[in-house]
Homo-oligomer: A and B are copies of this chain.
Amino acid sequence: MQKNPGQCQFVVAMDSIVGKWKPTILYHLLQGKPLRFNELRRLLPDITQRMLTLYLRELEEEEIVKRVVYPQIPPKVEYSITAYGMSLSPVLEMLHRWGVAHIERKRLKEAENERTETD
């Protein structure tokens, strides 16, 4: 994809995190409890079945998420974070914290703008 040598590690790291629903999927799995496919669907009410499947497959391929199929009918498939996937936890937490601060900053800015406009 990106060809600039020496700094594309940003991009590599982000591919594991980026995607409309990936952060939310990871957020739930990082709680530690394995989740079944439809449990995840219920936690992400707006995701389509297709996208959930695609993202889980991607995460599985990167060994961030483990997929366990129980040979039952009706089928049971459990997704859980791998030990390796756990290494994303501090990264995501840092992003989360920066995001919270960023929102707060925006909020303050807007409040200030309104104040000076009504002066």
Show the binding face of A for B, using Cβ within 8 Å. Answer: 1-4, 7-14, 16-18, 20-21, 23-24, 27, 43-46, 62, 84, 87-88, 90-92, 94-103, 105
Indicate whether A18 sits within 8 Å of B14 (C-beta atoms), given known contacts A24-B2, A87-B98, A95-B91.
yes
This chain: how many copies in the complex? 2
Where chain A touches its partner, the secondary structure class is helix
Indicate whether A91 sits within 8 Å of B88 (C-beta atoms), given known contacts A18-B14, A100-B9.
no
The interface centre, meaning the residue of A10, A11, A101 with most chain B CB atoms within 10 A of its CB, is A10
State how many angstroms separate the Cβ of A65 from the closest Cβ of chain B: 14
Hey, which chain B residues are within 8 Å of A20, CB to CB?
1-2
